[in-house]
Amino acid sequence: MAHPKSRTRTYSSWTNMRDRCLNPRNPRYDDYGGRGIRICKRWLTFENFLADMGTRPANTTIGRINNDKGYYPANCRWETKAEQYGNMRSNHFVSWNGETKSIGAWARLLGVKQNTLLYRIRRGWRIERVMEARILSKAEALVNARTARLTAGGDR
């Protein structure tokens, strides 16, 4: 007989969490159970998981605050996709002005594309220049390129 809450988002998150951590045939097992991510004993029962986490809000999934630690009440919360992406192991973190954030978080804060910041970092720019350099509009970039060609004698 199916669990009475088996058709809820909360139950789905719970079963997916268990499967990733406990089932070696799960395609994501290597990223979870295979690398030592465990579930606390209390959460092996859905009712305990529900009591600790509450009902899953719309547009969220379960997220771990510290990605290197397991699933237990003090390390888990319901997160949006943006929050989840900000907490991935593959993120590039940068410290600037006394704060450390993912490149994606800095990009949103600065109003620039993430790829712009990554390009600058990969080019070896100092972090101050990466974060403070102004983004030229396409029109400004075209004017600058034309001016450079004229100065070099390219357009006659």
83 and 136 inside one domain: no
User: Considering the chain, what percentage of its residues have pLDDT values greater than 70?
Assistant: 80
- Predicted pLDDT of residue 56: 95
The parent domain of residue 114 ranges over: 91-156
Element (H, E) at 64: strand 61-64
Please identify which residue in the block is written with the tokens 């499967």.
19
pLDDT at 21: 97
Does residue 56 share a domain with residue 119?
A: no
Give the span between the Cα atoms of 48 and 25, in whole angstroms. 26
Same domain (yes/no): 42, 58: yes
Q: Which residues of the chain have pLDDT under 50?
A: 156
pLDDT of residue 85: 63
pTM for the model stands at 0.58
pLDDT at 154: 57
Res 75: pLDDT:
94
Token pair for residue 142?
Answer: 């075209």
